[in-house]
Structure formats: C-alpha cells, structure tokens
Amino acid sequence: MTRRKASLQWIAVHSLGVAAALFFTLPFVFLVLTSLMSDSQALSRDLVPHTWEWGNYRKVFDTPGFLTWWRNTLLYAGLGTVLTVVSSLPVAYALAKFRFRGRKLSLMLVISMMMLPPQVVVIPMYLFWAKQLGLSGTLWPLILPMACGDAFSIFLLRQFLTTIPDEYLDAAKVDGCGELRTLLRVVLPMARPGIAAVALFQFFYAWNDYFGPQIYASENPGAWTLSYGLESFKGAHHTDWNLTMAATVLVMAPVILVFFLAQKAFVEGVTLTGVKG
Amino acid sequence: MSAGTLAAKRRRATLRTLAFMAPWLVGFAVFFAYPLISTVYFSFMHYDGFRPPEWTGGRNWVYVFEHYPLFWPALRNTLWLVVVMVSLRVVFGLGVGLLITKIKTATGVFRTLFYLPYLAPPVAATMAFAFLLNPGTGPVNSLLERAGLPAPGWFGDPGWSKPALTLLALWGIGDLMVIFMAALLDVPAEQYEAAQLDGASAWQRFRYVTLPAISPIVMFAVVTGVIQTMQYYTQPLVAGKVASGVIQGAGTQFEPGYPDKSTLTLPQLVYNLGFQRFDYGSACVVALVLFALSMAFTALLMRRRGGLIQAGD
C-alpha cells in the first residue's frame, strides 16, 4: 500500500524532473541544431538540419574582428581577474581579521558599492576616462579600476577568511611573521578555494559584461569584446540565424566549459554569497 | 611598557591597516564617492560635453519627471517586472528547488541541467531566445502552431515582450534554485516527522513547516530580485535591438524600448540621455533616481536578518 504510493510518487517526481530538464535544455539543443543548418534551411521552420554544416563555425571564425574580440575578452577577463584578486585579498584580510575603528562602517560601504548599479556613476566616470585621460575606445577604463579592489570579491573573500581560525594566524605571529608574511604564507594557501571562487565570478563577470564595453569601446570595433560584438553579428548577417547561432554557441561554450572544470569551486562560492553564515 | 612605545605601536597598527585597505580606499574615493558627488553636481547643470557646464537649478529634474517621454514608461515597466517577473522567479525557483530535493535518481545530472542556463552569458542567452521566439521561423512558434495553439509575437509585440523576457528570466533560475535547495535541506527532518505524526497533509507540511523555516530566504530572494530588476539592462536592450532589426548599423538610431517602449528600463534611460542625446545633466537625474531606489532596497536587505548581513556580521 505505502510502497505503491511511494513508487507512484517516484514516477510523478521524476516525470516532473524530466519535463523541467526539457525546458532547461531544449533551448540549447535548438540553438546548436540551427547553428549547423545551411543558410536556406535556417530560414525555414525545420527543427533538424538536413545537412550538417560544420563549416558554419569556420565561417564565424573567419568573420573580420571575431578573433580580435576573443583576444580582447581574454585580456579583459584574464588581466581583470588577476588584478581583482591581488587587490581584493589584502582588503578582505584586514576586514576579516584586523580590529580597527570603522571596520563595520567599511564593511557596510563595501556592501553598498556591491549593490550600486554601474549606470549610477557612469556619466562622471565616462567624462573622467574619456575627456581627462583620453582612454575611450579602449578597455582600460574597465580593467584599471580592478586594481582598486572589487566590492563583491572583497565581500566574498572576507566571508571566507573569517572562517579561518585565529590560532593559525597567532601561531605564525609567534614564529615572527609580520601580517604580510602571515597573509602570504599561512592565509593564502588556506584561502585557495575562496580565491578560486572569486576568480571564477570575476572572470564570468568580465566575459558577460555588455554595458562596460558599450560605454567605453563601442566607437572602436578593434576593442570590442565577444559579449558586445555578438549582437553586431546579427546586424552583419541579417537573417542568417545559422551563423548568428554558431557565434552564440561559441560565446556560451567557454563559460560552460570553465564551469565543468571548476564546478567545486563554483558551488563553494555560491553557498558563500547567500545563505551560509 | 612606557606610554611612548604603546602610542608608537598603535600608530604602527593603524598604518598597517591603512596599507592593507589602501586599494579599496583609493577605489572608494575615485570610483564611488567622487562620481556620486559629481553626479549630484551635474544633475543641476546643463552639460553636453562640449560647452562648459552651466547651472540650471532644478530644470533637469523638472524635465525628467514632467517632459521626458521615456521616464514614466520605464518606471511602469520596472513595476511590472517587479510584480510579475520577480514573484514568478521566486515561486519557480522554490518549485525547482523543491523538485530537486525530491529527485532521488541521477540527482547530480538533473541539478547540473537545471543550473546550466543560469551560466549562459546574458547577451548570448538573449540572442538565443530572440531566435527561439522569433515569430517567423522560430522553433517555439512552429511547435505551438503544430499543436494548434496561438503563436504570439513575443519580442516583436508590446504586449508580449515582457512575458518573453520573463520566460528568459525563468530559464536562468539556477541561482535561486541553488539557494532554495540549500535552505530546504537545512529544515530539520524531525519537524516533518512530528507534523506527519500529527496527520498533516503534504500541503499542510509545506505551509506550516517548510515555509516558516525558509521565509528569510524567500525574503532574501525577493529583495535581491527587486535590486536586480532596478539594474535590468542587457536582456531588454539586446532583445529590443534584435527584434527591431536595428543593430549597430552606422547612422541608424535604435528606438529605445522597442516595441513601443515596452522593454525600457531605468538604466537604459541613463544611456539614452547621456550617450545618445548628450544631455549629461538629465542623465544624472535618472542615475540618482536609480541610486535612491537601489539603496532603499539594499537598506531593507541589511536590516532584515535574512541572508546577506547575517553573513556580513
């Protein structure tokens, strides 16, 4: 009786699960299928390619600018991530482990900065970078600020560092380490999962950023990133959904690949951001 | 120990703190405090980037609230998105989170599949949905028509563009799913057993055990959802651009909020005023409205013993 009920429930739950799985995966499937259609078939209502046009992906790479966008994106995401981690770690360490006046206030200001939409300060920032420093048409206005710490990364690292017991730090100090040596020799190795999570989030942030490149790089296609350049694909190829979708797949794929390679660090980061105290 | 060395020690500690905090202190001054003050200043100026700024008193403010044709539509859209998109996301996120805790076979596979869309870069995900939902050749409308159902115009129809964006937002539910899943697994099992012994039905157990236990997380999801909606920019903009067919063509001007202002959001107004009309003063007025709204909800987040600050303290 209850066993029958249990197996009925198993069937109900797993049918719902399969239905949900279809909702989440079918868009990817249609995306990839369309990216492999011929030009004329992509204009039809067919769902599955007649001939598999792997050459579409080649054509995307041959599109003028596409490789430059890749390079720019890697520069923005790569250099930006390194700068963010290096500058945010000492701040997070101070907020987690030093006792000083204004610590609570600083933490509240960090959270406020985290919640600040970039559009709020973009006018003065644009005038500063473009008019005073003449850096519009490049990605430097987006990369350089990352040397000054990133609020979200500081917050996340600080959460992680508070979980390291003080005894380890005290032991290092008894051994004659200064704070910097303690940070580099003791804290850094223990904070590796937190750093990995921060690096991942920052990499994804830069990879996905659309507003930043739109403001600072739009005037110079040589400085575009993938996320910004992608929509121009639709413009250049008009109705060629197949090539546009192939380019879309190529923008999504690295993020998903990185996720699979670093799933553990990622999940750790997600739990740190929200619920866990 | 003499007073002198104690003072010296304290000074050393202060210097050390300053040294460690230095990157952020510079960042706070240059990228937060200065531009924020500057935004307030420019909101009272007429400035087009060429001629020097000129004091105009409250004229930009009057213009934005009374004459700028895009302000109220954008605010109304934001309200729509807060009411419909945020609540649907919370309900759906909770539902999917609940489902994943009940799935006992191949849980890891299901979890990964449910989570993946959240990772899709916003521009790419929007392009994908613009294709999937395009009224001409899109697979969704093909399937709907084959099933004999009405096929809406989605991103091309002012009445359907926000529902289409909502669908896109529900697809990327992974973040909420993970948060709800963790919260649901934290509910003590004894409470369920006790309720079951008392003869509570499945719904009653959900209503009187689960919901009270996870209510702080629901609150957290609602408030962060509202904050995210204030900042909602890339998806509505890209969807509007693709649907209108105007993309970065030289000299072509994109009609903001296509179709019929239905996808306008507040951040888009800052771009429209500042970078399309070169009216930096009025752009700063909208920026300050955006700032006030974001900070009000952030304050709510910090007061509530929900997620963020509970963690922060």
Across the interface, whether the CB atoms of A125 and B308 are under 8 A apart is answered no
Cα→Cα distances A199→A83, A92, B9, B148, B158, Å: 10, 14, 35, 48, 40
Asked if A225 and A193 sit in the same domain, the reply is: yes
Chain B residues with CB under 8 Å of A83 CB are none
Asked if A85 and A196 sit in the same domain, the reply is: yes
Give the model's pLDDT for residue B250.
Answer: 44
Give the model's pLDDT for residue B312.
Answer: 38
B64 touches chain A (CB under 8 A): no
Chain A residues with CB under 8 Å of B307 CB are 274-275
pLDDT tens track, chain B, 313 positions: 566 788 898 898 999 999 999 999 999 999 999 999 999 999 999 999 889 999 999 999 999 999 999 999 999 999 999 999 999 999 999 999 999 999 988 998 999 999 999 999 999 999 999 999 998 888 999 999 999 999 999 999 999 999 999 999 999 999 999 999 989 999 998 988 899 889 888 899 999 999 999 998 999 899 999 999 999 999 999 999 888 876 654 445 678 898 999 999 999 999 999 999 999 999 999 999 999 998 888 888 777 554 444 433 3
Chain B residues with CB under 8 Å of A27 CB are 117, 128-129, 132, 171
Residues 148-167, chain B, touching A (beta carbon < 8 A) = none
Q: What residue ranges of chain A have pLDDT lower than 50?
A: 275-277
Asked if A9 and A134 sit in the same domain, the reply is: no
Asked if A143 and A232 sit in the same domain, the reply is: yes
Asked if A114 and A40 sit in the same domain, the reply is: no
Across the interface, whether the CB atoms of A115 and B295 are under 8 A apart is answered yes
Q: Phi and psi for B45 in degrees, rounded to 5?
A: -115, 150
Chains A and B form CB pairs within 8 A to the count of 272
B31 touches chain A (CB under 8 A): yes
Dihedral of the CA atoms A112, A114, A118, A123 (nearest 10)?
40
- ipTM metric: 0.90
Sign of CA dihedral B273, B274, B275, B278: positive
Give the model's pLDDT for residue A240.
Answer: 75
Give the model's pLDDT for residue B306.
Answer: 45
Chain A residue at shortest CA distance from B240 = A231
**By residue range, what is the domain housing residue A8?**
2-57
Residues 256-275, chain B, touching A (beta carbon < 8 A) = 266-267, 270-271, 274-275
Total structural domains within chain A: 2
State how far residue B23 is from chain A, nearest Cα, in angstroms: 4
Asked if A44 and A130 sit in the same domain, the reply is: no
Boundary (domain end) residue, out of A34, A57, A80: A57
Asked if A47 and A156 sit in the same domain, the reply is: no
Asked if A66 and A53 sit in the same domain, the reply is: no
Measured CA to CA, the distance from residue A235 to residue B247 in angstroms comes to: 5
Of B119, B139, B288, the CB nearest to A256: B119
Asked if A101 and A234 sit in the same domain, the reply is: yes
Boundary (domain end) residue, out of A38, A57, A76: A57
Asked if A165 and A106 sit in the same domain, the reply is: yes
Of B21, B274, B295, the CB nearest to A123: B274
The distance in angstroms from the start CA to the end CA of chain B is 34
Strand partners, B45: B55
Chain B residue at shortest CA distance from A89 = B20
Ordered structural domains, chain B, with CATH: 70-312 (1.10.3720.10)
A251 touches chain B (CB under 8 A): yes
A223 touches chain B (CB under 8 A): no
Chain B residue at shortest CA distance from A113 = B32
Give the model's pLDDT for residue B303.
Answer: 73
Dihedral class, residue B116 (left if φ above 0, else alpha if ψ from -120 to 50, else beta): alpha
Asked if A98 and A21 sit in the same domain, the reply is: no
Asked if A32 and A134 sit in the same domain, the reply is: no
Per-residue model confidence as pLDDT tens digits over A259-272: 888 887 776 666 66
Measured CA to CA, the distance from residue A104 to residue B106 in angstroms comes to: 44
Q: At A115, is the secondary structure helix, strand, or coil? A: coil
Strand partners, A167: none
- Identify which of B120, B118, B152, B110 has the alpha carbon closest to the alpha carbon of residue B135: B152
Amino acid at residue number B104: K
Across the interface, whether the CB atoms of B270 and A145 are under 8 A apart is answered no
- Assess contact for B117 and B132: CB atoms under 8 A: no
Boundary (domain end) residue, out of A57, A72, A96: A57
Sign of CA dihedral B296, B302, B308, B313: positive
Measured CA to CA, the distance from residue A266 to residue A4 in angstroms comes to: 39
